[in-house]
Structure 1
Amino acid sequence: MLLKTKHINLKTELPGPKSMALIKRKEENVPRGPFNTSPAFIEKGEGALITDIDGNTLIDLAGAIGSLNTGHCPPTVVKAVQEQVEKYIHPCFHVAMYEPYIELAEKLNAITPGNFKKKTFFLNSGAEAVENAVKIARKYTGRRAIVSFERGYHGRTSMTMALTSKVKPYKNGFGPFPSDTYKVRHPYYYRKPKGMTDDQLDDYLLKQLNDFFLGEVPPEDIAAFILEPIQGEGGFIVPSKRFVQGVREICREHGILFISDEVQTGFGRTGKMFASEHFDIDPDLITMSKSIAAGLPISAVTGKAEIMEAPNPGEIGGTYGGSPLGCVAALEVIKLLEEQNLISRANEIGTLIKNRFKEMRKKTNVIGDIRGLGAMTAMEIVKDRDSKDPDKVLTGKIIAECNRRGVVILGAGLYGNVIRTLCPLVITDDQLNEALDVIDQVIEDVVKEQ
């Protein structure tokens, strides 16, 4: 049964004939490696809506994998980019400097967590930001080892794949990876041992770090721990404040830097400007990208000034790092987040989604955990709530059918059984409820077909 919809307008089946023609051209000319969630080719995006080349209008709950917190084509961002293009496009900051780079660095130094002197520089992607944070940490500490967490995701470059904790699809067949990277356990409260409390799990994992220091790498050899405040690709798993602060304290005790990877969690997504703020921690280094500039490619590393000053001139940077277009877009994005109260809006969105997910869970046994902070929310699909066995196949069917019915949505999780929402924070309640109606109906229909 298909719902009557107000915002979703499907004039053809998805993909439509024009999209099908482009899919054929894609298959002939583009390798299969770059994965696609939605089968439609976009022609126009506005806010939380996209229209494809066949005239179908869809509701976007994927937001370019969290890159569009301020929505598709925010008018003030479009205007700022248009004005910048008419002045200069890319003189390269290493050759001819420009003011927007400095303005954005000043802004990020001011709004990131930590009441200390900071400095910022810019790159192109989240993976580049992570890779350079690692370089800076090693240079500053003179140490070699970097520690990440199970289920963490940090990118697809060689170094960031080494830090990432999901073999397929990210790492399979691409090794060997850089050495001196290590992984430790991260809480997953939904799947904790029976009879164990959340606090007991935190304490157990924190105590295990002592064994890790004895059995894997001594703390005096560790340059940094890198942690996503909320795991993104890992399944939107939220650690406790107790755990995160415990890791932070261990880092302080041993002179280890704490890198907060905010590529997916930053810029209002979690109901704070940066997710680190939920845990009352001040990271030594923060990596950012995705929603920093409404979809334009730019990333940043911000950190304590004395740490950021460790590399010598020429040791960090890149030809396209800190593009003027990205810088002016990012400045407008930050204004929008502040002036339109989009950070508090993220909390409203998250409450609405979680409440609707809970209502869905009452009607079926396949929805296990519901979790997240702010508008970074997810549901975990299982074969049944008693066994908690992950159901990757059912999850894939739900996601594919939602996309076919006009709601663009994504999966996640180590087991491939998590449905996540990364909708633009400018989405209206009416649009969001319609998208959730579709998800609700799809789950009901797909479960009946099993």
Structure 2
Amino acid sequence: MATSREMTEGRALPLIFNFTLPLLLGNLLQQTYSLVDAAIVGKFLGINALASVGASTSVIFLILGFCNGCCGGFGIPVAQKFGARDYITMRRYVAVSLQLAAVMSVVLAVVTSICCADILRMMRTPDNIFTGAYYYLLVTFIGVPCTFFYNLLSSIIRALGDSKTPFWFLLFSTVLNILLDLFCILVLDWGVAGAAIATVFSQGVSAVLCYIYMMKRFEILRTTPAERKFDSALARTLMYIGVPMGLQFSITAIGSIMLQSANNALGTACVAAFTAAMRIKMFFMCPFESLGMAMATYSGQNYGAGKPGRIWQGVKASALMMIVYWAFTFAVLMVGAKTFTLLFVEASEVEILKDAELFLHISVSFFPILGLLCILRYTIQGVGYTNLAMLSGVSEMIARILISLLAVPAFGYIAVCFGDPTAWIFADLFLIPAFAYVYRRILRMNKN
């Protein structure tokens, strides 16, 4: 029988570490989707096909980031009610979140699918890769409901303190995705679209299996007919928390789209280098995101249990783990950046290898700033102040837009490399005082 787990008692560091490990493995598997897609496309279909996949990366992050943010937000009231041991209201939140997800995901899929071509034109996608980018983007958008439901179900299970169950379904999905990638591209000859089809189908299967397992094995989630009725008050609470989290990702992605658009104008070689480097960077960023997700559940449960002092303990423990990981990653990428890039392109592509290596060296140097961003942002979200977290996304967007409009035209690709680090600095300048404000506020609330 699957079990839930409270994180309102015991030492913060081992609790967060043990909860983070399955999350980390899951995030690494999700990034394996991207790595496998890009590696197979780049090796078997060529540089133009790789650039086609990369040209739509930021747009995909815009839409899927909104979905994932909403899902994470929907899980916060569940975690808070679980921490407060109000299981009836918790189950009602779960039921309403599934109903909202059904409507939102279908609407997003329809609207974004219609707008695919216009979006790519606005991003100044080169003509020689436009068709491949269009089909990759279209298939991904059609599959939005699959992504939405998988992430929502995972968020609900994590809210109960179980980060292992979502990992096993993601492992299954990853293996299926790799097999389907090879089948669709090498056997069926579906090209770039085949990579997208493989990813969407594998996520859909994983979402269905996850739902069946969750309802059968988690007794605490089994609802009565009365608990499954739509409740507008609970829906407003979920939207109030979830939508700002989704918008935070989308707002951040708007800046990324601007940056990618500026990079697209530099030519196919820069697009290919950016694509390969981003895949590698996202892979090594996983632990920061995982720590942040763990802190969202940890802070949500302790906030619901009326134990705000434990939240600061969690932040310090997470920061220590983050610094240790960064030291390891810095050494690996400074030495092996070019070797990792060879997974995507041939050794003869000297310019692409050099540009990707430069991007990774600059990015990894600023990883501690990114790690602090993830810890503080998710902690703020976990206690329900999602509007503040969204404003940190605005800070990131402003930084990327300034780099795109002013620095890239003047300095070229080197400015693209500094786009993300500059955005992380802008976000932290907002998040540090925001966290101090939130923490003081919840301490006062608890005393009253």
Which structure shows the higher helix fraction? 2
Query: If the length of structure 2 is used for normalisation, what is the TM-score?
Result: 0.28
> Normalising to structure 1: TM-score of the pair?
0.27
Q: Which structure has greater strand proportion?
A: 1
Q: 1 or 2 for the larger relative contact order (CA 8 Å, sep ≥6)? A: 2
